[in-house]
């Protein structure tokens, strides 16, 4: 009798066990953590800090926690943005947020074509032009292929703000500018911009600027307005801004190591390209407009703001065109002409 009961109960137990196994929740996939190197110092409430924090937030929310970013700032591992870009290119780091044209120093000088100065466009229009150049035919596929050949994938581009010059004196005339030493990032396009003013360009890491200004190694610097305002490099009244001398839109991009990208699940790749980056760009555009206005207000309150004469301004702009445009047109006529058509200069 017991044997019969056991024989009857066993199938029931088996069925119930199978049902319970079928109802059990599958194990949650292990979160992917990307090592994210950020070229700009951490400043709570600053625009650039907000952008990277927003990206980290979007990665977690859109993937349900499957993708996370571990944030590192200058000095945490790598001291400069060039070091960060090199690390991502070499696969030592996964992702970086750096100047869009930093790859000019890493074997892709063509990236600087979209940054050549041209007249007649506000900052938002300029970032729109650069985004088009990076994404649409014929320039987008070509420049991205060149970047990927270096082991890096471009993800998006956001506006940092206008590129400006900050001086320790009110230089007005060509002769006065010829006596100045201007700090510039060590990239051809920035060095040529500084030299187009008639000054002497001095390649120097941004972290060395405060001491260089105090010791007279440089008399001023070429920089992004938003970054400069955040870092508070000035002493009250010591710095002078020729406020109408704006070169271009300083833009930063998210670049990911190509192998790190290829290891991501296809659905996460799709979420990044179709949801996360478009939302980040829209959010950043709105946030940047306010950042530029706030930064200018702080600069006006803490530094000497003045305007160059229209003739001097025209002189510098002509030098910019004569110096930069032929160089980058010769570098790659197809990419240059694509940008020229987009920007309408």
Cβ within 8 Å of residue 107, ≥6 positions away: 150
Fold of 32-343: D-Maltodextrin-Binding Protein; domain 2 (3.40.190)
pTM for the model stands at 0.83
Cα–Cα distance for residue pair 115/172, rounded to 1 Å:
26
Strand partners, 319: none
For helices 123-135 and 277-302, what crossing angle results, to 10°? 150
pLDDT (0 to 100) of residue 14: 47
Contact 246, 292 (CB under 8 A): no
pLDDT (0 to 100) of residue 236: 55
| Terminal-residue alpha carbon distance, the chain | 97
The first and second tokens of residue 94, run together, are 């996964």
Strand partners, 159: 251
- DSSP letter at 254? E
Residue 342 sits at the vertex; the CA angle it makes with 336 and 343, to the nearest 5 degrees, is 90
- For the chain, 345 residues long, give each residue's pLDDT as a single digit of tens: 545 554 554 454 545 454 544 555 555 568 899 999 998 888 888 888 899 999 999 999 999 999 999 999 988 999 888 899 999 999 999 999 998 888 888 899 999 999 888 877 788 898 999 999 999 999 999 999 999 999 999 999 998 888 888 888 889 999 999 999 999 988 888 899 899 999 999 998 877 888 888 888 999 888 877 777 766 665 655 688 898 888 777 889 999 999 999 999 999 999 999 999 999 999 999 998 888 888 788 778 878 889 999 999 999 989 988 989 999 999 999 999 999 999 998
In the chain, where are the structural domains located?
32-343
- DSSP letter at 335? H
Q: What is the dihedral of CA 335, 338, 340, 344, to 10 degrees?
A: -160
pLDDT (0 to 100) of residue 4: 52
Closest by CA position to 288, among listed 129, 203, 111, 162? 162
């Amino acid at each position: 009798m017991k044997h019969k009961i056991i024989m009857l109960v066993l199938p029931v137990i088996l069925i119930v066990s199978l049902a319970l196994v079928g109802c059990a929740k599958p194990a949650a996939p292990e979160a992917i953590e990307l090592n994210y190197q950020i070229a700009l110092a951490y400043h709570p409430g600053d625009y650039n800090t907000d952008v990277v924090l927003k990206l980290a937030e979007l990665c977690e929310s859109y993937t349900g926690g499957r993708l996370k970013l571990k944030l590192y700032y200058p000095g945490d591992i790598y001291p400069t943005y060039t070091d960060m870009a090199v690390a991502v290119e070499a696969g030592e780091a996964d992702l970086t947020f750096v100047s869009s044209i930093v790859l000019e120093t890493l074997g892709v000088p063509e990236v600087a074509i979209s940054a050549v100065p041209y007249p007649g466009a506000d900052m938002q229009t300029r970032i729109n032009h650069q985004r088009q150049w990076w994404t649409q035919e014929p320039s987008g596929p070509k420049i991205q292929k060149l970047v990927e050949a270096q082991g890096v994938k471009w993800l998006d581009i956001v506006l940092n703000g206008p590129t400006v010059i900050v001086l320790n004196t009110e230089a007005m005339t060509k002769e006065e500018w010829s006596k100045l030493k201007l700090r510039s990032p060590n990239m051809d396009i920035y060095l040529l911009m500084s030299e187009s003013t008639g000054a002497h360009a001095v390649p120097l890491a941004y972290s060395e600027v405060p001491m260089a200004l105090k010791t007279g190694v440089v008399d001023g610097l070429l920089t992004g307005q938003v970054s400069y305002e955040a870092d508070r490099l000035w002493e009250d009244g010591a710095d002078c801004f020729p406020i109408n001398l704006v070169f271009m839109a300083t833009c930063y991009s998210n670049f990911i190591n190509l192998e790190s990208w290829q290891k991501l699940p296809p659905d996460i790749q799709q979420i990044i390209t179709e949801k996360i980056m478009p939302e980040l760009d829209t959010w950043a555009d709105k946030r940047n407009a306010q950042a530029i206005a706030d930064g200018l207000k702080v600069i006006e309150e803490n530094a000497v703001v003045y305007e160059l004469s229209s003739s001097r301004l025209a002189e510098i702009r002509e030098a910019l065109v004569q110096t930069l445009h032929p160089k980058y047109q010769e570098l790659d006529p197809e990419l240059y002409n694509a940008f020229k058509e987009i920007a309408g200069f």
